[in-house]
Amino acid sequence: MEDMMLTESLNNLNLVPLGHSTGQVPDRPPVDIVVLASSDSVSHGLRRMAHRNRWSIHPCATLCEATRVISRLCGCIVLCESRIADTSWRDVLKYLQSRDISAPLVVFTHFADVNLWLDVLDAGGHDVVLFPFGEREVVHVLGSACRELASSAAA
C-alpha cells in the first residue's frame, strides 16, 4: 500500500521510482532541467534517465548560454556544476534571484563538501548532489526540486 502511494505521488510529479511502471504516459509536459556543466558527460548521464523520469535536458557550457535558455522557459530546474570556467554556482543563483526567477538551483560537485552544501542552502539554493550521479539520489533531489517549482508556480 505504501509503495503504491509513493508511486502515485511520484507520478503526480512526472517521476517514476526505479523498477516501477504505471503503464500510463503522463499527459503533463516534461520538467525542464537546465544543466550548466563543463563536460558533456553530465548531460549525457542525465539523458539516459530523462525519458523514464519525464525530464527535458537543456545542456549549457556557459552562464551566458544558460541565461538565454532559462529566459525562454516557463519554469525550470537549474543543475549547476559548483565551478565552471566562466562562472560559479553563486553567479547563477544571483542571476536567478536578481530576475525573480523561481528556478530551484541544484549544485553538483565531484567532491563531498559539507561547507559547500551549507553555503548553497544558506544562499538560497535547493540542494547539492555528488557527481557521478546515482540515479536514486538524482531522482530524489530533482523530485524535491520539482515540488518546490510546482509550489512556487501555484503561489
Average pLDDT, integer, range 63-86: 93
The CATH number of domain 29-154 is 3.40.50.2300: yes
| pLDDT tens-digit readout, 113-141 | 899 999 999 999 999 999 998 899 999 99
User: If pLDDT is split at 50, 70 and 90, which confidence band does 26 have?
Assistant: low
State mean pLDDT over 27-31: 79
pLDDT on residue 27: 64
* CA–CA distance, 34 with 95 (Å, rounded to integer): 14
The pLDDT value recorded for residue 6 is 37
Domain boundaries, the chain: 29-154
SS3 of the chain: the string is CHHHHHHHHHHHCCCCCCCCCCCCCCCCCCEEEEEECCCHHHHHHHHHHHHHHCEEEEEECCHHHHHHHHHHCCCCEEEEECEECCEEHHHHHHHHHHCCCCCCEEEEECCCCHHHHHHHHHHCCCEEEECCCCHHHHHHHHHHHHHHHHHHHHC
The model's pTM is 0.81
pLDDT digits (tens, 9 = 90+) for 79-110: 999 988 888 999 999 999 999 999 999 999 99
